[in-house]
């Protein structure tokens, strides 16, 4: 085993790797950017090397700086985690050239599997089913490939991963703008704008197989994970085993995964991803998607049912040791589910919500996180705050346990998607195991509505707030003689609550006084009120009334200032000075936290000034465009 390993990552996965290194007695060295210099990972590491810079491009993606950090601290190996440099053949090559062990597959394997078209060809050559697809270099060649494959189709990045560049294209008219957006995003993320197309598999489940292989010719699978609950091709909920696989299909899927990885000469931990279609003639067809040649975000659910430490196994394999077990030595026990808790506002288009955590608890669950209460979630990186993992004996029992854990979990100080997870878990389609990769986005409006607390809960919170300000009120009766209007934020934006005698109204909806009186509400030390609800507790805050005047919406003066809602890179500017625009037109696109965010005009007008250009990095609140 190694004496010292550099962790070339950040956030929860850096913490996860450091904990295993310390358990094994291996010195854990962390390469950290300026925003992460006081992070939980930095506090846990034995040594920290500061990478001068703030953005990922300046720090974690700087191969020369990361390799130099490993050499300067006497490390023998580098663990890249997931994302960032984990799939980069040039990084693996640079490590080898510096005499460092790259904890992952070889440069040659990364090169082969990093090209999604080459990986498809390898799958075909080894009898692994693929969806019909074709590639092209130019836009015209891609258009011809699309005509061959047929619509609807998936437009995909040939290099890179993480769902970046992926677009569903329904009709030929949608193809050109999709190609433009996909090339822009993949060029920025990977320096590679090559694309290809595949037949779109409707109502499919996303199922992946965890594989582990050593340098001695041994390879095993560690079961499958179902990752079908996704938004914009980013996974939100993962579980094992998959609710749609029977033993026969599981055997087919795992055998195909092992066949492909052996053909690729794969060594270390990796995942083979598939789409599983609707039943046809009594069986479900499946199609190869890609290989993720690294540790996956969702690996904890596999650890939960196998009892294995995948990071420890990665280290052992990288150190040249053979796998300590054969396939028949692996035991699968129970069912596990993981929820990704992101710092984002589901009610504001999932805009990232950087800020300082005041509370982070999840009693009864494994909580993998890169933060503790009091830590700031920076705006420079992705929005993942924590992964909440629950295990039970069978799926039904696990869902019940998860409902209790999500109901009592608390992430306060910034907006998160925790309420959405509660609504997903309570939905009968998810509970039945029938959620497909299209399900979440199709049902999102209804899920977001279900994720908000009932108006009676807000009325109860308003009574408690009012009792603090009205002597003698004590929450025992409604205010009198006139109505009192309070503005409360339930995690989904401000809502008005009107109280008067025996009546309450939330956003104009009448609330039964008896229902409100029966809701549990308690005052917290930070001044918020926590109210009970069927899908979990909600934290409610008293906020000022929102600005409603035209002047307040437009800012000072006659010009309407369109500002960046978050920090990021300007991916595109779609307007010019003097150009008329309609209400809702996309004036600019920001690339931040692995997502493109369309910035729209708040009303019709004429562009009076453009303040940014493509590739410029802007802070939250930066002035982008002005409209008259």
pLDDT digit string, tens, across residues 78-111 = 999 999 999 999 999 999 999 999 999 999 999 9
Q: What is the phi/psi pair of residue 455, to 5°?
A: -50, -30
Q: Are 577 and 607 in contact (CB under 8 A)?
A: yes
Which pLDDT does position 469 carry in this prediction?
A: 63
Which of these, 335, 314, 333, lies nearest to 324 by C-alpha position?
Answer: 314
CA 310 to CA 502: how far, in whole Å? 59
Which pLDDT does position 38 carry in this prediction?
A: 95
Which of these, 502, 476, 498, lies nearest to 485 by C-alpha position?
Answer: 498
In tens, the pLDDT along 359-410 reads 899 999 999 999 999 999 988 888 999 999 999 999 999 999 999 999 889 8
Which pLDDT does position 327 carry in this prediction?
A: 98
Q: How many helices (H) and strands (E) does the chain have?
A: 18, 38
Would you state the torsion angle of the CA atoms of residues 25, 26, 30, 31, taken in this order, to the nearest 10 degrees?
180
**How many CA atoms lie less than 13 Å away from 326 in the CB half-sphere?**
1
Prior bond to 188 cis, omega within 30?
A: no
Which pLDDT does position 235 carry in this prediction?
A: 95
| Ranges of residues in the chain whose predicted pLDDT is under 70 | 160-162, 469-483, 501-502, 513, 534-535, 547-559, 593-595
Which pLDDT does position 593 carry in this prediction?
A: 59
Which pLDDT does position 553 carry in this prediction?
A: 38
- In three-state secondary structure terms, 30 is strand
For the chain, what percent of residues have pLDDT higher than 70? 93
Which pLDDT does position 547 carry in this prediction?
A: 58
CA 301 to CA 392: how far, in whole Å? 11
Which pLDDT does position 526 carry in this prediction?
A: 78
- In three-state secondary structure terms, 284 is coil
Q: Are 113 and 119 in contact (CB under 8 A)?
A: yes
Q: Containing H/E element for 208? A: strand 205-213
CA 91 to CA 431: how far, in whole Å? 42
**Residue 328 burial (CB count, 10 A):** 7
Question: How buried is residue 578: exposed, middle or buried, by Cβ count under 10 Å (0-12/13-18/19+)?
Answer: exposed
**Residue 400 burial (CB count, 10 A):** 13
């Amino acid at each position: 085993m190694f004496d010292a390993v550099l962790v070339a990552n950040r956030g929860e996965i850096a913490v996860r790797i450091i904990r295993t290194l310390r358990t094994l007695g291996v010195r854990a060295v962390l390469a950290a950017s300026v925003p992460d210099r006081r992070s939980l990972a930095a506090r846990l590491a034995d040594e920290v090397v500061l990478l001068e810079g703030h953005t990922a491009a300046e720090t974690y993606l700087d191969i020369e700086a990361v390799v130099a950090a490993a050499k300067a601290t006497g490390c023998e190996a580098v663990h890249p985690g997931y994302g960032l440099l984990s799939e980069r053949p040039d990084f693996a090559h640079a490590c080898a050239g510096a005499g460092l062990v790259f904890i992952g597959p070889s440069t040659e394997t990364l090169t082969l599997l990093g090209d999604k078209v080459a990986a498809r060809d390898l799958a075909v050559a080894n009898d692994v089913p693929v969806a019909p697809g074709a590639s092209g270099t130019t836009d015209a060649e891609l258009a011809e490939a699309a005509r061959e494959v047929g619509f609807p189709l998936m437009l995909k990045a040939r290099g890179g991963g993480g769902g970046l560049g992926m677009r569903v294209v329904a009709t030929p008219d949608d193809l050109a703008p999709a190609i433009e957006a996909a090339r822009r995003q993949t060029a920025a993320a990977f320096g590679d704008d090559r694309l290809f197309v595949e037949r779109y598999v409707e109502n499919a489940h996303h199922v992946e197989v965890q594989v582990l292989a050593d340098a001695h010719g041994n390879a095993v699978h560690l079961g499958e994970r179902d990752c079908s609950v996704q938004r914009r091709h980013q996974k939100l909920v993962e579980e094992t085993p998959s609710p749609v696989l029977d033993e026969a299909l599981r055997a087919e899927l795992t055998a195909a995964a092992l066949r492909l990885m052996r053909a690729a000469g794969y060594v270390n931990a990796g995942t083979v991803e598939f789409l599983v279609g609707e039943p046809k003639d009594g069986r479900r067809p499946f199609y190869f998607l890609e290989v993720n040649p690294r540790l996956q975000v969702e690996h904890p659910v596999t650890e939960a049912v196998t009892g294995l430490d995948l990071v420890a196994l990665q280290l052992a394999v990288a150190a040249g040791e053979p796998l300590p077990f054969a396939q028949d030595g692996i035991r699968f026990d129970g069912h596990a589910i993981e929820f990704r808790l992101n710092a984002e506002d589901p009610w504001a288009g999932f805009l990232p919500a950087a800020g300082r955590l005041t509370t982070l608890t999840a009693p009864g669950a494994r909580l993998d996180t890169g933060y503790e209460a009091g830590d700031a979630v920076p705006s420079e990186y992705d929005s993942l705050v924590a992964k909440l993992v629950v295990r039970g004996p069978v799926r039904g029992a696990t869902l019940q346990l998860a409902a209790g854990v999500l109901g009592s979990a608390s992430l306060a100080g910034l907006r998160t998607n925790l309420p959405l997870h509660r609504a997903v878990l309570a939905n009968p389609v998810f509970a039945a195991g029938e959620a497909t990769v299209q399900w979440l986005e199709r049902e999102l409006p209804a899920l977001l509505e279900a994720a908000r607390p009932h108006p009676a809960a807000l009325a109860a919170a308003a009574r408690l707030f009012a009792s603090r300000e009205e002597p003698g009120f004590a929450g025992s009766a409604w205010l009198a003689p006139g109505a009192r209007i309070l503005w409360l934020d339930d995690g989904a934006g401000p809502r008005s609550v009107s109280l008067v005698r025996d009546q309450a109204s939330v956003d104009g909806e009448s609330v039964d006084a008896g229902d409100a009186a029966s809701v549990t509400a308690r005052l917290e030390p930070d001044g918020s009120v926590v109210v009970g609800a069927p899908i979990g507790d909600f934290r409610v805050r008293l906020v000022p009334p929102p600005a409603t005047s035209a002047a307040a919406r437009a800012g000072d003066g006659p010009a309407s200032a369109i500002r960046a809602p978050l920090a990021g890179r300007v991916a595109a500017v779609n307007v010019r000075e003097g150009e008329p625009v309609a209400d809702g037109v996309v004036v600019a696109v920001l690339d931040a936290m692995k997502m493109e965010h369309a910035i729209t005009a708040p009303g019709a007008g004429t562009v009076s000034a453009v303040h940014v250009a493509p590739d410029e990095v802007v802070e939250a609140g930066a002035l982008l465009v002005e409209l008259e």
